[in-house]
C-alpha cells in the first residue's frame, strides 16, 4: 500500500497523455479530507488560482495527476480529479488503475482521521464488491 507523492520533475512516465479516472466534487463534506490533501501535497493559496497539479506514484509504478478544484464560496480545495498518466498510445488498463486509486484511498484515509478508518473503507468496498477491499 505504498503511495509516493512526487513532483512533475520526478515523473518517470515520458511523453504521456492524461486519462480521466474519477472526480470527487465535494471535499467539504468532511474537513479532514481537505486538510489531509493540503498537507500531503503542500497546497497553498496559489494553487487555487491556476497552480500546478499534484502527482503520485502507486506501488505498481504507475503515475497519476491530481487536479485540485476551486469553487466560489468554498475553501480550497473544494474537489479533485484523478487522471492516469499513460505513455504515448499505450492501452489503458482500467482494472489496474482502479486498484491504484483504491490504494490511494487506503493511503489517504488514515491521514483524514476522525470517524474515517481503514476498516470502514474496506467495509464499504466489500459492499460495492471492490476486489481489493
**21-44 mean pLDDT:** 91
For the record, the C-alpha cell of 119 comes out as: 476498516
**92-114 mean pLDDT:** 93
In a domain, 26, yes or no: yes
In a domain, 55, yes or no: yes
Closest CA to 74 of 111, 8, 29: 29
Q: Give the number of domains in the chain.
A: 1
**pTM value?**
0.90
Q: What is the pLDDT of residue 132?
A: 81
pLDDT at 133 over 80: no
Q: What is the pLDDT of residue 77?
A: 93
In a domain, 132, yes or no: no
For the record, the C-alpha cell of 25 comes out as: 466534487
In a domain, 7, yes or no: yes
Q: What percent of the chain has pLDDT over 70?
A: 99
- For residue 106, count CB atoms less than 10 angstroms from its CB and return exposed for 0-12, middle for 13-18, buried for 19 or more: middle
Q: What is the pLDDT of residue 43?
A: 94
Beta partners for residue 81, in sequence order: 23, 67
Structural domain span for residue 32: 3-127
Residue-wise pLDDT tens digits, 49-83: 888 999 999 999 999 999 999 988 888 999 999 99
In a domain, 133, yes or no: no
Q: What is the pLDDT of residue 93?
A: 94
- For residue 64, count CB atoms less than 10 angstroms from its CB and return exposed for 0-12, middle for 13-18, buried for 19 or more: buried
13-39 burial: b if 16+ Cβ within 10 Å, else e? beebeeeebeeeeebeeeebbbebbbe
In a domain, 15, yes or no: yes
In a domain, 80, yes or no: yes
State the number of CA atoms in the 13 A half-sphere of 83 facing the CB. Answer: 15
In a domain, 121, yes or no: yes
CB 1 within 8 A of CB 45: no
Q: What is the pLDDT of residue 1?
A: 55
SS (H, E, C) 34-88: HHHHHHHHCCCHHHHHCCCCEEEEECCCCEEEEEEECCCCCCCCCEEEEEEEEEC
Q: What is the pLDDT of residue 41?
A: 96
Amino acid at each position: 500500500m505504498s503511495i509516493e507523492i512526487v513532483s512533475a520533475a520526478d515523473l518517470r512516465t515520458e511523453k504521456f497523455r492524461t486519462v480521466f479516472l474519477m472526480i470527487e466534487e465535494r471535499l467539504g463534506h468532511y474537513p479532514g479530507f481537505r486538510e489531509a490533501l493540503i498537507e500531503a501535497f503542500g497546497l497553498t493559496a496559489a494553487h487555487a488560482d491556476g497552480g500546478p497539479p499534484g502527482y503520485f506514484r502507486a506501488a505498481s509504478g504507475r503515475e497519476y495527476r491530481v487536479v485540485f478544484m476551486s469553487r466560489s464560496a468554498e475553501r480550497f480545495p473544494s474537489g479533485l480529479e484523478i487522471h492516469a498518466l499513460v505513455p504515448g498510445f499505450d492501452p489503458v488498463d482500467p482494472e489496474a488503475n482502479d486498484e491504484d486509486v483504491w490504494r490511494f484511498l487506503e493511503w489517504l484515509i488514515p491521514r483524514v482521521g476522525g470517524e474515517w478508518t481503514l476498516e470502514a473503507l474496506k467495509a464499504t468496498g466489500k459492499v460495492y464488491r471492490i476486489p481489493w477491499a
